[in-house]
C-alpha cells in the first residue's frame, strides 16, 4: 500500500507533519509514505490518502497523531475497521465530485516536490507540443479557448500575449503575478504549493508565445512553502534542461527568477508590481504606455496571474475548443474560488463558469455551518462587493457578477449569515484598502480614509443624517478619480452594502442599533431574572467582574463595567442572557 499525506499550508497547520512523523514511528516503510499538496478540502485536514496495490483509494480525514497505529494496522492487515471512523463521508466526497478541475487537476494528487510525478501525470507534453509549432499558433489556440485573466479584470489572455509579441525589441519579459493579497483568498498559493511545475510549464509556453527569454514569478513573502517548492521545481527543471538554453532541443531559451514581495496589496496592480520588481516602492504608473509596450525595465512585458498560467498546459494539450466548450458566452472555462466564512465545507472549489452562487455555497459548500440563515456573500475581496441572499441564483460569469455591483476578482468568496453586520463588513474592507493605499493619488489616499472614518462613526452610534448620501458621493468621486484599480474598486463594498442593506445603515444612524448585534458600541447584555437560575457561570466567565448575584438567585449585569465581550452570553445554558 502507498500512503500520501496532504501537506499544503492548511494541512501542515492542522498537524499533517506531526501525523507523518507519527506514521514513520510505527515502523511503516518510509518509502511508502509520501506527501502531496492541498486537494482543496481544507476543512477536513489533515488528510491521509491510502492507495492499495490496484490503486484503489481510501481517504482518511481529520487524522491526528493518535491515529497512526490504527492506520498502520489497516495497512498491515487490510481490515478497514481499524480506520472506519476516519473515512471521508459520502457527503464530503461530493465536495470534489461536483467540481471540474483543470487548474487544480494535479493538486492534492501528485507529489509537488518530485518532477517525475508531474511528468508521469502528462507534464511538459504541452510545452513540447507548443515548441513544435509557431508562437502564432499557440496564441491562436489561447484565443480559441477564450481564456481570460483570472487575476480579476478578466482581460483576454491572447490579446495581452499578442500585444507583447508584436512589440518591438529583442528583450522581453513574462511575469507571473503571485502576489495574492485578498483577505480570504488562497487559490494561487495552493497551486504553487501543490503543482509548481504546472505553473512553470504554463509560463514557458507563454514566454515562447510572446518571444520572452526571461520569466519572473512575483510571489508574496508570506508564502514560504510556495517559494520553497517553486525554487525546488525550477532547480529540477534546470537540471533536466527544461529551463535554460535550447529547451527540448529547440531554439527557444528561457530562464526563471523568483522575486519575494513584501505583501503590498497594491502590487496586485501590474504596473505597481513592475515598480516593486525594479526595486522601487510599489506604486502604479500612468497608462499608456501599457506593460506590453513598456514594462519591466521599460521592456515589453506580459503579466498574468497564477491561475491563468495553470490553465495553459491543459488548453494546449486538449485544444482551445475543449476549454471554450465550458462556461458561458462571455466567460469561458472554469474558475477557482476560495470559499470561506460561515459555510460548512470551506476550501478550494473549481467549477465551470455558468454555475450559480447557490451551486457553490449550498451544493458544493454544504450550506451554512450555523443554524442562522444565509445573508450575503462577498465576492472579489476588498475590490468586490456583497451579494445578498435574494441574488443567490446569480450566474457566475464576469457580466452577471458585475451587474450586481460585485466582481469576479481573483476568486475570494466569503459567506456570511444573519449574525454579520453589513456596515461592519464594509468597514472591515475599507480599513484594509485604506491601509494598503500606496498614497500616490489623493482620491484614494484621502478618500478611503474619510470613508473609513464615517463608517467607524456609524458603527459607534455616532452617525448623522446625510452620512449615507455623503458616503455614496465619496464613493463615486474616488472611483472616477483614483489612478489604479485599488482606488477605483475600493468603494465597491460600501456601495453594494448601501444598495442591498441600506436599512442596516439607517438603523445604525437613526435608531443607534446594530440589527445583527455585532457592533459592540450599539449592543447591551441583560439578564432576564425569571430565567436566571443563579448558577454563577456567567459571573465566573466575566473578565471584568461586571456580573453580581448569589447562588440560586437572579444575577445582574453592571452595564457601566461591562466591556461587551459576550462571554456571559456564550456561557449561559438557560437562555437567561439576551443581547439587545
Segment 470-517, tens digit of pLDDT:
999 999 999 999 999 899 999 999 999 999 999 999 999 999 999 998
| Helices of type H across 172-249 | 187-194, 196-210, 224-240
Which grid cell sits at 128?
513540447
Thinking of the domain 2-96, which architecture would CATH place it in? 3-Layer(aba) Sandwich (3.40)
Burial of 36 (0-12, 13-18, 19+ CB in 10 A): buried
In this predicted model, what pLDDT tens digit does every residue of 293-317 receive, in sequence order? 999 999 999 999 999 999 999 999 9
Name the class of domain 334-417.
alpha beta
Name the average pLDDT for the chain.
95
Q: Model's pTM, two decimal places?
A: 0.94
Say if residue 165's pLDDT is above 80. Answer: yes
Q: Quick one: pLDDT band at residue 118, thresholds 50, 70, 90? A: very high
Q: What is the mean predicted confidence (pLDDT) over 250-273? A: 93
- SS3 (DSSP) at 368: strand
Q: Quick check: 39 and 108 in contact, CB under 8 A?
A: yes
pLDDT confidence band for 183 (50 / 70 / 90): confident
Fold of 115-324: Rossmann fold (3.40.50)
Task: Give just the sign of the alpha carbon dihedral 478, 479, 484, 489.
Answer: positive
CA geometry: angle at 406 spanning 190 and 331, to 5°? 65
Say which CATH topology domain 422-511 has. de novo design (two linked rop proteins) (1.20.1440)
Pairing of strands 347-352, 301-305: unpaired
Domain ranges of the chain: 2-96, 115-324, 334-417, 422-511, 524-579
CA distance 271 to 277: 10
Buried residues in 399-435 as b, exposed as e (16+ CB within 10 A): ebbeebbbbbbbbbbbbbbbebbbbbbbbbbbebbbe
Q: pLDDT digits over 552-569, tens only? A: 999 999 999 999 888 999
Segments in 291-351 forming alpha helices (H): 306-318, 320-324
Query: What pLDDT does 579 receive?
Result: 87
Phi/psi for 375 (5° steps) reads: -115, -45
Residue 153 has pLDDT above 80, yes or no: no
How much is the pLDDT for 194? 98
Residue-level pLDDT at 219: 96
Mean pLDDT (whole number) for 546-552 = 95
Pairing of strands 412-417, 334-341: parallel
pLDDT (tens digit per residue) in 410-421: 889 999 999 999
Rounded percentage of the chain residues whose pLDDT exceeds 70: 100
Say whether pLDDT at 152 is over 80: no
Place of cell 513544435: 132
Q: Which residue has the higher pLDDT, 46 or 383?
A: 46
Segment 260-285 mean pLDDT: 93
* CB 200, CB 115: distance < 8 Å: no
Average pLDDT value for residue range 165-187: 92
Which residues is 457 bridged to in the sheet? none
CATH for 524-579 is 3.30.70.20
Query: Does position 370 have pLDDT exceeding 90, yes or no?
Result: no
Amino acid at each position: 500500500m502507498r500512503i500520501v499525506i496532504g501537506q499544503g499550508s492548511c494541512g501542515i497547520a492542522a498537524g499533517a507533519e506531526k501525523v507523518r512523523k507519527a506514521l514513520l514511528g510505527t515502523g511503516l516503510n518510509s518509502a511508502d509514505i509520501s506527501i502531496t499538496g492541498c486537494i482543496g478540502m481544507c476543512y477536513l485536514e489533515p488528510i491521509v490518502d491510502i492507495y492499495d496495490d490496484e490503486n484503489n483509494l481510501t481517504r482518511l480525514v481529520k487524522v491526528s497523531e493518535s491515529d497512526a497505529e490504527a492506520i498502520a494496522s489497516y495497512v498491515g492487515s487490510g481490515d478497514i475497521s481499524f480506520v472506519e471512523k476516519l473515512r471521508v463521508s459520502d457527503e464530503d466526497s461530493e465536495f470534489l465530485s461536483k467540481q471540474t478541475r483543470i487548474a487544480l487537476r494535479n493538486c492534492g494528487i501528485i507529489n509537488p516536490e518530485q518532477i517525475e510525478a508531474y511528468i508521469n501525470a502528462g507534464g511538459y507534453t504541452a510545452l513540447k507540443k507548443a515548441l513544435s509549432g509557431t508562437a502564432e499558433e499557440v496564441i491562436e489556440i489561447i484565443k480559441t479557448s477564450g481564456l481570460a485573466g483570472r487575476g480579476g479584470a478578466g482581460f483576454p489572455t491572447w490579446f495581452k500575449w499578442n500585444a507583447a509579441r508584436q512589440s518591438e525589441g529583442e528583450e522581453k519579459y513574462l511575469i507571473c503575478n503571485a502576489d495574492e493579497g485578498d483577505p480570504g483568498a488562497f487559490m494561487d498559493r495552493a497551486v504553487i504549493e501543490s503543482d509548481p511545475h504546472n505553473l512553470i510549464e504554463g509560463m514557458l509556453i507563454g514566454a515562447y508565445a510572446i518571444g520572452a527569454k526571461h520569466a519572473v514569478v512575483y510571489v508574496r513573502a508570506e508564502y514560504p512553502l510556495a517559494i520553497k517548492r517553486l525554487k525546488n521545481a525550477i532547480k529540477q527543471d534546470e537540471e533536466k534542461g527544461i529551463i535554460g538554453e535550447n529547451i527540448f532541443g529547440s531554439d527557444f531559451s528561457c530562464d526563471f527568477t523568483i522575486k519575494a514581495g513584501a505583501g503590498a496589496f497594491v502590487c496586485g496592480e501590474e504596473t505597481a508590481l513592475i515598480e516593486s520588481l525594479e526595486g522601487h516602492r510599489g506604486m502604479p504608473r500612468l497608462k499608456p504606455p501599457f506593460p506590453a509596450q513598456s514594462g519591466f525595465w521599460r521592456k515589453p512585458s506580459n503579466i498574468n496571474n497564477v491561475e491563468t498560467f495553470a490553465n495553459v498546459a491543459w488548453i494546449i494539450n486538449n485544444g482551445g475548443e475543449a476549454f471554450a466548450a465550458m462556461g458561458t458566452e462571455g466567460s469561458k472555462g472554469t474558475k477557482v474560488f476560495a470559499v470561506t466564512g460561515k459555510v460548512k465545507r470551506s476550501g478550494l472549489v473549481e467549477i465551470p463558469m455558468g454555475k450559480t452562487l447557490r451551486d457553490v455555497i449550498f451544493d458544493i459548500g454544504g450550506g451554512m455551518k450555523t443554524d442562522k440563515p444565509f445573508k450575503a456573500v462577498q465576492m472579489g475581496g476588498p475590490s468586490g462587493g456583497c451579494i445578498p441572499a435574494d441574488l443567490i441564483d446569480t450566474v457566475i460569469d464576469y457580466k452577471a457578477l458585475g451587474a450586481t455591483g460585485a466582481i469576479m476578482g481573483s476568486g475570494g468568496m466569503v459567506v456570511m449569515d444573519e449574525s454579520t453586520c453589513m456596515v461592519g463588513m464594509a468597514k472591515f474592507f475599507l480599513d484594509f484598502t485604506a491601509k494598503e493605499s500606496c498614497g500616490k493619488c489623493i482620491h484614494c489616499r484621502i478618500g478611503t480614509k474619510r470613508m473609513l472614518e464615517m463608517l467607524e462613526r456609524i458603527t459607534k452610534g455616532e452617525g448623522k443624517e446625510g452620512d449615507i448620501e455623503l458616503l455614496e458621493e465619496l464613493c463615486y468621486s474616488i472611483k472616477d478619480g483614483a489612478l489604479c484599480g485599488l482606488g477605483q474598486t475600493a468603494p465597491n463594498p460600501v456601495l453594494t452594502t448601501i444598495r442591498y442593506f441600506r436599512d442596516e445603515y439607517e438603523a445604525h444612524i437613526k435608531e443607534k442599533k446594530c440589527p445583527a448585534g455585532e457592533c459592540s458600541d450599539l449592543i447591551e447584555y441583560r439578564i432576564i431574572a425569571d430565567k436566571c437560575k443563579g448558577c454563577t457561570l456567567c459571573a465566573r466567565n466575566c473578565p471584568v467582574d461586571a456580573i453580581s448575584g448569589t447562588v440560586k438567585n437572579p444575577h445582574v449585569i453592571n452595564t457601566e463595567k461591562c466591556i461587551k465581550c459576550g462571554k456571559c452570553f456564550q456561557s449561559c445554558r438557560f437562555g437567561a442572557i439576551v443581547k439587545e
